[in-house]
A and B are shown apart, each in its own frame.
Chain A
Amino acid sequence: MQNVDWVALTIFVALFVLISVLGFWASRWRRGDLDQLHEWGLGGRRFGTVVTWFLVGGDLYTAYTFIAVPALAFGAGALAFYAVPYTILIYPILFMVFPRLWQVCHKHGWVTAGDFVRGRFGNRWLALAIAITGIVATLPYIALQLVGIQVVLAGMGVGGTGFLADLPLIIAFLVLAAFTYSSGLRAPASIAIVKDVLIYLTAIVAVIVIPMQLGGFDRIFAAVPAAKVILAAPPPNSTGSLSTYATLALGSALALFLYPHSLTGILSASSSGAIRRNAALLPGYSFMLGLLTLLGFFAIAAGVDKLPEFASGFAQFKASFSIPALFVHSFPSWFVGIAFAAIGIGALVPAAIMSIAAANLYTRNIHKEFINPEATDKQESQVAKWVSLIVKIGALAFILFLAPQYAVQLQLLGGVWIIQTLPAVMLGIYTRWFNSWALLIGWVVGIASGTWMAFAANLSSTFPLAIGAFNFPGYAALYSLVLNLVVAAVLTPVFNSAGKAAVVDETVPADYTT
Chain B
Amino acid sequence: MNDTAGKRNWSWWYLLFVVEFLLIIWPPLYNSVEPPLIGIPFFYWYQLLVVLIGAALTAVVYFATKDRVL
B12 near A: Cβ within 8 Å? Answer: no
**Would B31 and A230 count as touching, CB distance under 8 A?**
yes
A430 lies within 8 A of chain B by Cβ: yes
- Asked if A91 is an interface residue, CB under 8 A from chain B, the answer is yes
Identify which of B20, B25, B31, B70 contacts A100 (C-beta below 8 A).
Answer: B70
A460 adjacent to chain B (CB < 8 Å) = no
Q: Which residue of B lies closest to A286 (CB)?
A: B51
- Say whether A280 contacts B3, CB under 8 Å: no
A409 within 8 A of partner (CB)? no
Chain A 192-233 per-residue mask, 1 if CB under 8 angstroms from chain B, else 0: 000000000000000000000000111111000000011100
* Residue among B25, B26, B54, B69 facing the most chain A CB atoms (10 A cut-off): B54
Query: Are A431 and B61 within 8 A (Cβ)?
Result: no
| Distance of B46 from chain A, by nearest CB (Å) | 10
1/0 per residue, CB under 8 A from B, across A100-119: the answer is 10010000000000000000
Contact of A431 with B5 in the complex, beta carbons under 8 Å: yes
The B interface, classified by DSSP as helix, strand, loop or mixed, is: helix
**Residue from A81, A433, A507, A508 having most chain B Cβ neighbours under 10 A:** A81
A-side contacts of B20, CB under 8 Å: 88, 92
Are A88 and B31 closer than 8 Å at their CB atoms? no
Contact of A88 among B5, B9, B50, B69 (CB under 8 A): B50
In the complex, chain B residues whose CB is within 8 Å of the CB of A220: 39
CA distance A250 to B33 in the complex (A): 23
A13 interface residue (CB < 8 Å to B): no
Docked-complex contact A216 and B47, CB < 8 angstroms:
no
Interface centre among A286, A430, A505, by most B CB within 10 Å?
A286
B40 and A283 contact, CB distance less than 8 A: no
Say whether chain A's binding surface is mostly helix, strand, loop, or mixed: helix
CB neighbours of A219 from chain B (8 A)? 39
Per-residue interface assignment for chain B, residues 32 to 59, with 1 indicating a CB less than 8 Å from any chain A CB and 0 otherwise = 1100101111011001101110110011
Given contacts A280-B58, A509-B2, contact A89 B21 (CB under 8 A): yes
* Residues on B with beta carbons closer than 8 Å to the beta carbon of A31: none
* Docked-complex contact A95 and B43, CB < 8 angstroms: no
The residue of chain B having its C-beta at the shortest distance from the C-beta of A85 within the complex is B24
Min CB gap A323→B, angstroms: 17
Q: Once the chains are docked, how many angstroms separate the CA of A63 from the CA of B28?
A: 31
Instruction: Please state if B58 and A279 are interface contacts (CB–CB under 8 Å).
Output: yes
CA distance A212 to B41 in the complex (A): 17
Contacting residues, chain B, for A429 (C-beta < 8 A): 4
Docked pose: A508 CA to B55 CA in angstroms = 32
A277 to B63, CA, bound (A): 9
Q: How far is the CA of A133 from the CA of B48 in the complex (A)?
A: 33
Q: Chain B's nearest CB lies how many Å from the CB of A471?
A: 16
CA distance A287 to B53 in the complex (A): 11
Alpha-carbon distance A507/B5, docked complex (angstroms): 13
Interface pair B3/A433, CB less than 8 Å apart: yes
Do A231 and B27 have beta carbons less than 8 Å apart?
yes
| Partner pick for A283 among B28, B31, B51, CB 8 A cutoff | B51
Least CB distance, B70 to chain A, in whole angstroms: 5
B59: chain A residues within 8 A (beta carbon): 280
Which residue of chain B lies nearest to A82 when distances are taken between CB atoms in the complex? Answer: B27
**Best-surrounded residue of A88, A277, A286 (most CB of chain B within 10 A):** A88
Q: Please give me the 7 A-B residue pairs with the lowest Cβ-Cβ distance, nearest first.
A: A217-B39, A218-B39, A283-B55, A92-B17, A509-B4, A280-B58, A280-B59
Chain B positions near chain A (C-beta within 8 angstroms): 1-6, 9, 14, 17, 20-21, 24-28, 31-33, 36, 38-41, 43-44, 47-48, 50-52, 54-55, 58-59, 61-62, 66, 69-70
Other contacts beyond A81-B44, A85-B50, A431-B3: 17, CB < 8 A:
A84-B47, A87-B51, A91-B58, A95-B17, A96-B14, A220-B39, A230-B33, A231-B27, A250-B25, A281-B55, A290-B44, A430-B4, A432-B3, A433-B3, A509-B3, A512-B70, A513-B70
| 15 A-B contact pairs sorted by A residue (CB < 8 Å) | A87-B51, A89-B21, A92-B58, A95-B61, A216-B38, A217-B39, A218-B36, A242-B31, A246-B25, A294-B40, A432-B1, A505-B2, A508-B2, A509-B2, A509-B4
